[in-house]
Chain A
Amino acid sequence: MFKELDPILHSQLRLAVVSLLIGVKEAEFTFIREKTNATAGNLSVQVQKLKEAGYIEVTKQFKDNYPQTTCKITPKGIEAFEAYVQALQQYLQVGKE
């Protein structure tokens, strides 16, 4: 009867990344790192997992000879985020009862 919390999103750093990307059109890897205070290594592992799940889109390009990674949420990611928030609400309501 309970929706299970999406294991891809139910991880602090991945959830932080997706919550950030929900609010913006796109963001650079460095921006995400600044806002989440995560280490580059950990963040790139989690970004990769989100990308493999199809929740985010990652583009790598060169800007003024520097590699630049840009992340953007996909429609599938938005859907998953909404479902996750809905499931959270269910849990919280039960907690109140």
Chain B
Amino acid sequence: MSNIDYQNDQEKSFSPEESLQLIQTMIRKTKDSVAVDSFYLLFWGWLVFICCIVEYVLMIYFKYPYHSFVWWAMPIGGIISGIYSSRKAKKQKSVTYIEEALGYLWIAIGISFFVMVFINVTSEAWNTAFTYYILMYAIGTFVSGRLIRFKPLVIGGILNFIIAAVSIKFNFAGQLLMGALAILISYIIPGHLLRIRYNTKKN
């Protein structure tokens, strides 16, 4: 591409073959620019994982009655995540359709979490809350994995559909461990693999 001489653009007539080649080159260039960010997977993955484990330990080993306070980390995480994405949006020079689709997918999942939290605190649904959270992780990671063509994320998503089905058989303590397992498989492991792939691509 770099050797195309745009200077003589007006005079120079170029052949249909050259035309087609140029179109292909440019389309390939936009494909490469879909840089997928592992930040969200790793940030939310580790945050939720740690919260699940801490709540489990507080509840089972310390018999601490207010164990659910750990989830106050979620709105704080939301603020950090929001600041990160607004900073990133300022630097971003192009938006692909895949990035737009991913954005709306995760906004919808984010809203679903808010709705589920509302349902959980106003009913007894919190007992089986993780079954539905895991189902959300499954949808998010499966669709994202397909869109960016990243297999570990797709596999993580599929496994989470199974974990969600199994998790309904567990009591709340068991659900916490299921949640930790689900997030490990669908966010943390694919997130680290994605980071490795990105770093090796860059070098």
Contacts and interface: CB of A to CB of B under 8 A. Distances in A.
Interface in B1-59: 1-2, 4, 6-7, 9-10, 12-14, 16-17, 19-20, 22-23, 25-27, 29-31, 33
A15 B9 CA distance: 11
Contacts of B9: 11-13, 42, 46
A92 B22 contact: no
B14 A23 contact: no
Given A16-B22, A30-B93, A42-B9, A35 B16 contact: no
A42 to B, nearest CB: 6
Interface in B97-137: 97, 99-100
A12 B95 contact: no
B93 A31 contact: yes
Contact of A63 (B14, B20, B27, B90): B90
B95 A25 contact: yes
Interface of B: 1-2, 4, 6-7, 9-10, 12-14, 16-17, 19-20, 22-23, 25-27, 29-31, 33, 90, 93-97, 99-100
